[in-house]
Amino acid sequence: MSDASAQRWLVAGLGNPGPEYAGNRHNAGFMVLDELAARVGGRFKAHRSRAEVVEGRLAALPVVLAKPLSFMNLSGGPVKALADFYKVTPDRVIVVHDELDIPYGALRAKTGGGDNGHNGLKSITKSLGTRDYPRIRFGIGRPPGRMDPATFVLRDFATAERKDLPFLVDRAADMVESLMTAGLEATQNRFHAADLNPAKPPR
């Protein structure tokens, strides 16, 4: 086994804890992490870092799956605590989150960059001390009309959206595995051309 294959990954899905938030657009990250936990064959358990975690192997690689329980705007504390606890460097911390600036039906992988006003990312960047960590961006689109984005993200996916939601969650989980095994460029080349939505936001 090579050193690289022995190194653990940390995958953090962003969302808000509690059943009242479970179907929200803002909880897309939690939805993807539930799918990954099913693939690992584990159940989330409380961790002292203020997160629920599953430890196991994903794509034959050691991984910790995490759902911070601190509410979205304070996600950085638990993610940093887990990275320290498991000795995972930021370049192996994959954050899965909802993204307003990408249309629903599109998924994007990237490393680094800004937070686009996403408070969960803002908190993680501050806590890790770097923005250079990989992300899976789950497109939710912009709110209709003059709706406040803060209201929009805390609403459940619409009925029409829910039809494709399981497919998109599954595909986002595939992207996490691809990032771990094939790297960023290969993941972008494989997945960015396969949107449900024909609109193509920038990579």
Hey, which residues are catalytic here? 26
Contact 82, 53 (CB under 8 A): yes
**What is the C-alpha separation between 188 and 74, in angstroms, rounded?**
29
Contact 139, 103 (CB under 8 A): yes
Contact 83, 128 (CB under 8 A): yes
Q: What tokens appear for 110 in the block?
A: 């990237």
Q: Which has the closest alpha carbon to 134: 74, 102, 179?
A: 179
At 189, which helix (H) or strand (E)? helix 184-191
